[in-house]
Structure 1
């Protein structure tokens, strides 16, 4: 699963830019439970792959990234992002938030709390769609109510899988620039659940605090813990896997008729891979075909493997022909 290697400040900058330009920013905040669930649920996995911003929301993921020497050094929790956006918003241009979902009455309470405590953010609407399926929560009346509020940030709280599925189902119809499933945020804002103190978050014990606040979560965290042990057992030898040093190269070319042509060799550095992603983001929307040549690249490298997976998912969803040269398996 791919992640954006961004800090909290950088994530805030991306969100504010999307709000200013009224451009779509679908944010996913994968934690360990996301990764585990996505491993055997292709639809759920694709919802993350097709997101505009993926934040590593879990210390086990940060520890795994450090072990694999990936440039993801900071946990960016969805609730931390929301709080920081509220703090950094201005009185002249307050952040407009719409709460969708949550337990009965919680979104309404969160709306009252947010409007009463902050001059930098305003809840411009809330809606409890009930406990139906995605289709019943996606009626024209519901979407019209959300769009009429003219929100900057739509906070969805329906449970991770249903929430991601609802966003994917309605993304094209939504006029809100920033959309994310942040299940716990509505509870934290409403005060029905207390968030863990900062020290608990930093040492990776927020899960334990969550169990004391919401005892029904113990089973999920127990299962996550078992899967985490298995995950790290698989990651253990990868740190020592022989791979070319990070001095490979990236060649990019776009032709109106031929589409996008990408050539990777060796193991490109993180800045080179970032330049590649920027190029892909710029031209993917106008390409009918993409050719990715990794015949001379270290395809076992985590970043190259992620690139192949992301391109495969995005091209498939957009009806773009993808040809990968040199990939095995």
Structure 2
């Protein structure tokens, strides 16, 4: 395996419009073991490993915005937009739903355990050791207060140090200086947001740069579970994939959402998942293409070009990981040339998603170009063909200016 680097310093004033983003502030971990399922990157991680990662982030005061996509998340993300991208931009993305685990298994991916947001909260609650401080933001009127009281009644690994139920206000109204100051002044280690999936993810991203809480996540049902207004399904129900039935029992208004998601899942299984699984299983590995995979990085002005060749799969991605890390150490517009790439798998696609997400976070260009029909087909089967969308106008202008 060979990694080629050809670097030179960016030219000054090539693009006066480039956003002033500090590479010391926004970094992406390209070493994460991520895999693409239904167009989203998922970390192959156990409940125990996820708990440890959150605890480490809280103790070291390192930002960890983690998302817990379930089937409803995945279905909604198929429409694209900021909701999908909020998951891709997360520091951790876990499979909160047995249907996603089953799909991963069908695709031969090492995502073998459901890591539910509520289960993760309980794991942190029941663990021994240093206590983590929690702040509840959202939930029905009065429920966050009840949750705080009930959480603090008995000794556990979590203690609530603040809560706020903002009601049905807009994201802007819920993002006032007073609101953010109250959260920051609480010195919480873990901010639990419960505003509805789309609104919650949007609120988090809108305020992430202002929040001093290291661990942040939208865990919509957790506040209700802790308060006892909604009973959590027994573990065995969740493992069998029947939590949706339990949730309908507890919250009958959810039936329509689960019904629509179920119909969409059946359609996805027929049109995407099964054809994708057949393509994965029928693929004949080209050992020579894997062994001779190459990647090169060049920089010109404000633009970074990454050229790859050969076949890229879970076992040989380290050179790509290293190049992506180098390419994002400084804010660049990034263009990938995959004209000589013959095959990519779910792990490679997820890694491309992390790069796409990083560029989205720093508001710089991302372009994946010159892909073969085979690569385009794979991206489409994995619901990741949005990575092939044309480079932004800003990126194109920057590339043109840099090559003059």
- Could you say if the C-alpha distance between residues 119 and 12 of structure 1 is closer, same or farther in structure 2, counting changes exceeding 3 Å? closer
Q: Which residue of 2 aligns with 1:238?
A: 276
Q: Deviations over 1:126-152 (max 9, x none)?
A: 011121111111010000000000101
Distance 1:199 1:142, change over 3 A: same
- Closer/same/farther in 2, CA of residues 318 and 264 from structure 1, 3 Å limit: farther
Are 1:127 and 2:164 an aligned pair? yes
Q: Distance in 2 between matches of 1:254 and 1:145?
A: 45
Residue aligning to 2:81: 42
Q: CA deviation at 1:293?
A: 3.9
CA distance in 1, matches of 2:321, 2:122: 28
Describe the shift of the 1:260–1:119 C-alpha distance in structure 2 as closer, same or farther (beyond 3 A): farther
Q: Which moved more, 1:230-239 or 1:164-173?
A: 230-239
TM-score by length of 1: 0.90
Structure 1 residues 300 and 275 mapped into 2: Cα distance closer, same or farther (>3 Å)? closer
1:310-329 equivalences in 2 (<5 Å): 310-327=354-371, 328=376
2:20 equivalent in structure 1:
none
Q: Whose relative contact order is higher, 1 or 2, with alpha carbons under 8 Å and at least 6 apart? A: 2
1:266 pairs with 311, 315, 318, which one? Answer: 311
Range that drifts further, 303-312 or 221-230: 303-312
Is the aligned partner of 1:87 residue 2:140?
no
> Which residue, 181, 186, 201 being the options, matches 1:164?
201
Deviations 1:252-309 (A, max 9, x none): 66678775746352142x2434774476357624242434343343556333333334
What's the C-alpha RMSD, in Å, of the aligned pairs? 2.4
How far did 1:165 drift? 0.6
| Contact 1:157/1:183 (8 A) holds in 2 | yes
* C-alpha spacing 1:298/1:129, structure 2 compared with 1 (3 Å): farther
| Greater mean alpha carbon deviation, residues 286-295 or residues 61-70 | 286-295
Q: Which residue of the partner structure matches residue 302 of structure 1?
A: 346
Instruction: Report which of the two structures shows the higher radius of gyration computed on alpha carbons.
Output: 2
Matches within 5 A, 1:203-222: 203-222=240-259
In structure 2, distance between residues paired with 1:107 and 1:74 = 29
Give how far 1:5 is off. Answer: 1.2
Unaligned stretches of 5+ residues in structure 1:
none
